[in-house]
Structure 1
Amino acid sequence: MRVLKKRLCIIGSGVSGLHLAYALKEDFDITVIERQLPDQIRKGRIMSTQVHFGSTRTRETRFNVPEWGEQTLIESIHITIGNQKLFVGQLQEPALSVDQRLYYSHSIEDLIDKGVSFRFEKVDKESVEVLIDEFDLVIDCTGKNGTLLPFPIEEDLSPFQTPQRKCIVGYFIGIKANTPLGVSVTVLPELGEMFEIPAITEHGPVTILFIMAIPDSDLDVFKGIKNAEEFTLKVRRTVQQFFPEIYNRIEGENFALCDENSFLQTALTPVIRKPYLMIKNKLVVGCGDSVFLNDPITGQGCNLSSYCAEQLYETLTEYKNSKWDMKTGEAYWNRTKQFVKEVTEWTNAMTKPLPEHVVQLLLQGTQDQVKANEIAEWFANPTKAYEAFFSTK
C-alpha cells in the first residue's frame, strides 16, 4: 500500500523557506506560499544584505540549491577601527554574496521546475488558521517582518526594546574593490559601523555599502531621504566624511546605485522566540528571522536561517513516521538552541562598545596573521566569536 506523504506548508521564500523546500521536497509534499511572483521579487526593492559563509554554501551543495558563479568569491575579512586599518584575515572557506532578488526569484523558478507547489498570495493571522487545518505542518518562514503565530519570546536572549542600529544599504557600481577581495568591517566607536561587501546581482558585480548608525549619532543622517539620487549623494558625502579609505576607491562619476531599487533604510528590534507551539492540537514551527531575529551587525542572518532550516529538516526526517507534537518541537529547539544562543549573545555584544579583552585580541591580529585569520573566522563560525567574547579561560 502506498503511504501518502505528509503535507507541509512553508510560508515565505527567503533563505530558510527556500532551503527547507530544497531539503524536504523528496520526503514530503511541499507547498510554499509567497506573496510576490518571482518577477516582482526580481524587479523589486532590495531586502537586505547577505553573506553566505562556508557552512551555508556547504548546506546549499548538500540540498542542491542552485550554484552561482565563482567570480566574486569573498576570501577575507578586512578589519578597521576608526581610521586605522588593523589587518586582513583570511577565511578558511570562501564566502559569497548574491542579491536576494536574484537568489530568491531564481530559486523559486527552479523549485517550480522540480515539482514543488507554490501559491502566490498574502497570508495573515486569520488565513494562517485555515492553513493549519489544511496541512500536517505549517512552518512560519515569514522573515524579519515578524511572525504570523504567537511563538513565545525568549526573554534572556531578547534584551532590547528598540532598534540598536539604523540600517542604510545601497548596492553600488563605481567602487574599486578592496584587495584581497573580501568584506570590510569598519567600527567607528560611538557612531556605528560600515560593512563593505562584494556581491553578485543581475547587473553583474557590485559593492554593497551597509552603514549601521547608532540612533541619533552623527552617522544617523539619512532620515527623510526618499529617492535614489538623494540617497546616492548622501552616501557619497557620508563615506567621504567617515570612511576615507572607501571614499578613495570611489571612481568619480561612475559611482551610482546599480538600479533604482537597490537602496534601503530600515531598523529592527532584535527578538528571539521559542520556535514551536501547538495550535488546534497541531504542531506549528518557525524558522529563520521570523523566530530568530538578530541585529544585522554580525552579518549572520542568512547563515543562521540556513543552519536552522537544516536542523528542522533533520528533526522532521527523524520524526517522519511519528505524530508531530510538542516532543517534535522540543527536539527541533534542542537542536538549535545552543547555536542560536551563541550567535545572539555575540551579536548583542557587538552592538555595545567592544570589551577590552576583545580590543586586545584585535590588536594582536595586527602583529600575528594566525590571530588575524582566527578573528576573520568569527564571522564564518560564530561559535568561535562567542568563545572569544565570553570564555573565562
Structure 2
Amino acid sequence: MRKILIVGAGQSGLQLALGLQSHGYDVTVMTNRTADEIRGGRVMSTQCMFHTALQHERDLGLNLWEDQAPRIEGLGVSVAGPDGGRAVNWVGHLDGYAQSVDQRVKMAGWLETFAKRGGQVVVHGVTVSDLDYFSRTFDLVLVAAGKGELVSMFGRDASRSPYDAPQRALAVAYVHGLGPRPEYDFEAVRCNLVPGVGELFVMPCLTTSGRCDILFWEGIPGGPLDVFAGVKDPGEHLRLTLELMKTFTPWEFERTRGGVELTDAGGVLAGRYAPVVRNPVAQLPSGGLVLGVADVVVANDPITGQGSNNAAKCAAAYLEAITAHGDKPFDADFMQGAFDLYWNHARHVTKWTNAMLAPPPEHVLQLIGAGGQVQSVADRFANGFDNPADFEQWFFEPEKAGAYLDSVAPQG
C-alpha cells in the first residue's frame, strides 16, 4: 500500500485525502489545528462553489451539507452609477445551483470523517526540515497549506504572474438578519461593481449557526474601501462594512435596515495578497521532492470567486493522476504532469481573474451592459463562473465580443 502525506487540511488537501483513502491508499494528514479548533475559529474564506466543483464532492460522497446549504440559482451584476443608483443591474441563471458552506463547518466535518474512516491525522505544525524527513518515509508528499514557510519553497513563476503586489484589500463579514432581495425570490450571488473603487459581493451561506449571508468588500489599495487594516474589533469591522455599503451600494444597504449582526465573533476576516502562480515542485535540502497543491501553486485574487472551485478541481486532477500512476515512482516528471493536468483548467481562471482586476476595456463594458438587455448574455456570464474556459470564446478579445453580441442582438 502506497503511503502518502498531505500537509494542510483545507478544501483541496482533505478532498484529495478522502479521495485517496477511498482508493485504498495509506494517507496521513498533517494540520496545525484540530477539528474543534477549526470549527470554533475564525472564518477562512467566502467559498461559493459552482456545479462542477460541487460534483467532485458528490462523486466522493462528501456533499454532507448539500440539503442544508442555500441553493444559489443565480448570479447578478450591478454597476454603480454616478448618481448613487445602478447603471447596470441584471441576474443570470445558473444551469446547476451553487452553494457556500463555511469552511469551518466543512473542514472540521471532513477532518473528522477522514479520521473515522481510518485515516491518520497528525496535529502539528510542519517545517521544511520536517518535510525533509517525511520525504524519505512517504512515497509522495503534497503541500496543501497555502501560507507560511512551506509556501516559500515553491518559486514564483514570473511568466504566469503579472502582478507582484496585492490588487485588492479584502474584508469579509458573515451576518444574520440581511433582508430579502426585492427583485426576485430565489437565492443568488450579487456582484456589485463600483468603478474606480472596488467591489461588494453578497452571497448566502451555511455557517456554524445556520443560514447567513456573506458581505465581502474588495477595495482598490489606497482607495476609500481600504480601511480595514489594523481593525481588531469585530463590531468595528461590521460598522465599517455597513458604512461603506451605505455610501457606495445603497441598494444593498437597504437590506440591512431590519438590523444585521455578525454570526459570531470569528465571523470577520481582512487581508490582502498578491496573485501568484508558483512552480509546482519544490526540492528539499536533502534532494527530496514535494508537490504543491491548489493555493500553494495557483493563488488568484478572489474577485472571481474561484478559490474553492480551483481547490476542488486541483484535488480531482491530482486524484486522477495518482491513481493512474500505479506503482511507478512519484518523481519530478509525475509531479509536473499532475500539475499540468490541473493547469489545463486553472490557466483559464488565472487569465480571467487577472483581467477582472484591471480597469475594464470598452468591449467588456459593452458585454456587462448587454447582460441587462439580453438574458442569454447574463446567463452565459453567470455560468462562466462554473466553466471559466468559456470566456475564451467571447470575453477577452474585442473581435470575439463584438461577434458574440451581434449574434445575440434582438432582431428587428
- The reply to whether TM is greater than 0.5 is yes
Asked if 1:8 corresponds to 2:4, the answer is yes
Q: 1:121 to 1:135 in 2, by over 3 A?
A: same
Which residue number corresponds to residue 46 of structure 1?
43
Distance in 1, matches of 2:69 and 2:312, equals 23
Asked if 1:267 corresponds to 2:272, the answer is yes
Please tell me the residue identity of whatever aligns with 2:60: F
Distance in 2, matches of 1:87 and 1:255, equals 25
Distance in 1, matches of 2:299 and 2:129, equals 23
Asked if the contact 2:29/2:122 (under 8 Å) is kept, the reply is yes
Which residue number corresponds to residue 127 of structure 2?
124
For residues 279-306 of structure 1, the C-alpha deviation after alignment (integer angstroms, 9 at most, x for no partner) is: 4454421111111111111110011111
Distance in 2, matches of 1:285 and 1:33, equals 15
Distance in 2, matches of 1:18 and 1:207, equals 25
* Structure 1 unaligned spans of 5+: none
Distance in 2, matches of 1:133 and 1:145, equals 22
Relative to the length of structure 1, the TM-score reads 0.95
Which residue number corresponds to residue 176 of structure 1?
179
Asked if 1:91 corresponds to 2:107, the answer is no
Superposition pairs of residues 223-234 of structure 1, within 5 angstroms = 223-234=229-240
Which residue number corresponds to residue 192 of structure 1?
198
Which residue number corresponds to residue 62 of structure 2?
65
Cα drift, residue 154 of structure 1: 1.7
Which residue number corresponds to residue 79 of structure 1?
77
Which residue number corresponds to residue 17 of structure 2?
21
Asked if 1:240 corresponds to 2:238, the answer is no
Distance in 1, matches of 2:302 and 2:379, equals 22
Distance in 2, matches of 1:284 and 1:177, equals 48
Asked if the contact 1:8/1:135 (under 8 Å) is kept, the reply is yes
SS in 2 for 1:126: helix
Asked if 1:111 corresponds to 2:114, the answer is yes
Asked if 1:322 corresponds to 2:328, the answer is yes
Superposition pairs of residues 152-171 of structure 1, within 5 angstroms = 152-171=155-174
Which 10-residue stretch deviates more, 344-353 or 281-290?
A: 281-290
SS in 1 for 2:174: strand
Asked if the contact 2:69/2:99 (under 8 Å) is kept, the reply is no
Of 349, 353, 369, the match for 2:359: 353
Asked if 1:138 corresponds to 2:141, the answer is yes
Which residue number corresponds to residue 52 of structure 2?
55
Cα drift, residue 330 of structure 1: 2.6
SS in 2 for 1:101: helix
Asked if the contact 1:145/1:290 (under 8 Å) is kept, the reply is no
Cα drift, residue 276 of structure 1: 2.1
Please tell me the residue identity of whatever aligns with 2:274: T
* Structure 2 unaligned spans of 5+: 401-412
TM-align CA RMSD: 1.6
Distance in 1, matches of 2:322 and 2:371, equals 42
Distance in 1, matches of 2:387 and 2:124, equals 36
SS in 2 for 1:48: coil
Asked if 1:309 corresponds to 2:315, the answer is yes
Q: 1:7 to 1:214 in 2, by over 3 A?
A: same
Which residue number corresponds to residue 408 of structure 2?
none
Cα drift, residue 147 of structure 1: 3.9
Relative to the length of structure 2, the TM-score reads 0.91
Q: 1:290 to 1:204 in 2, by over 3 A?
A: same
Which residue number corresponds to residue 220 of structure 1?
226
For residues 309-337 of structure 1, the C-alpha deviation after alignment (integer angstroms, 9 at most, x for no partner) is: 11111111111221121221232122122
Please tell me the residue identity of whatever aligns with 1:14: G
Which residue number corresponds to residue 333 of structure 1?
339
Which residue number corresponds to residue 385 of structure 1?
391
Distance in 2, matches of 1:138 and 1:71, equals 33
SS in 2 for 1:389: coil
Cα drift, residue 128 of structure 1: 1.7
Please tell me the residue identity of whatever aligns with 1:61: R
Q: 1:137 to 1:190 in 2, by over 3 A?
A: same
Distance in 2, matches of 1:122 and 1:110, equals 21
Identity of aligned residues (%): 33
SS in 1 for 2:353: helix
Cα drift, residue 48 of structure 1: 1.2
Which residue number corresponds to residue 214 of structure 2?
208
Distance in 2, matches of 1:284 and 1:320, equals 18
SS in 2 for 1:10: strand
